Amino acid sequence: MCMAIIVNKEEKRRDIALSCRELLLEHGIKDISISKMAATASVGKGTIYEYFSNKEDIVFEIISIFIAEHEKTLYALIDEQISTKEKIYKALYILYSNDDYQKQLTIYREFLAIALTSDNDEMVAFSTACRTRFMTVIDKIMDEAIDKGEVIAEAKTMSSALQTYALGLVVDTKTHRLQASELIDAFVDAFFTLIEKKDNK
């Protein structure tokens, strides 16, 4: 008697997305298709639609994997024995720190371009979730700094400016070919001039 094979749908969904990761990095969002993804994942198109609603759904899953990896790196910053200012600098600079992140950044820029030029509720919801994940880490770093008396209490309400700046930087570094490290240095210096407790300087 044959035993039925039980497939973990979440794992299968992730496996398909992971197998399409390099395809997405190489060709971008607009130039890939369900057919290409199915061939890359060595499954039929029907299997793709069993786990994903459409091409964008797979793209969301792949970007989610990128973000989950990025999130682990950000969370590791919380426990690093460095100043709060250095933690914030690193949190902003990570995406520009190596070639792998640069490739992921290219995909994220394309995602933003599509999101800005289309009326897609799924993209808005996904983008909001990405923002929330980043801000959760930033808030933890700021809470710790406030508890230690390194920054003023109002720093918590100002921390959303870091997300807004980070998003603007993603666009600005591409459209104007600017050096991220120099821009982040200047911004973080100015930001901490506002939030650092004067007696800590």
Asked if residue 1 belongs to a domain, the reply is no
Q: What residue numbers bound the domain in which 20 lies?
A: 7-52
- Tell me what the mean pLDDT of segment 187-199 comes to: 91
What's the DSSP call for residue 50? H
**What is the percent of the chain where pLDDT is above 70?**
96
**C-alpha span between 100 and 25 (Å, rounded):** 9
Q: Are residues 13 and 85 in the same domain?
A: no
Q: What residues have CB less than 8 Å from 75, skipping those under 6 apart? A: 137
Question: Do the domain assignments include residue 63?
Answer: yes
In this structure, the answer to whether residues 109 and 185 fall within a common structural domain is yes
Contact 68, 17 (CB under 8 A): no
Answer whether residue 23 shows pLDDT above 80. Answer: yes
pLDDT at position 30? 86
Same domain, 110 and 150: yes
Query: Could you give the CA distance from residue 169 to residue 184 in angstroms, rounded to a whole number?
Result: 9
| Average pLDDT estimate for 93-101 | 88
SS3 83: coil
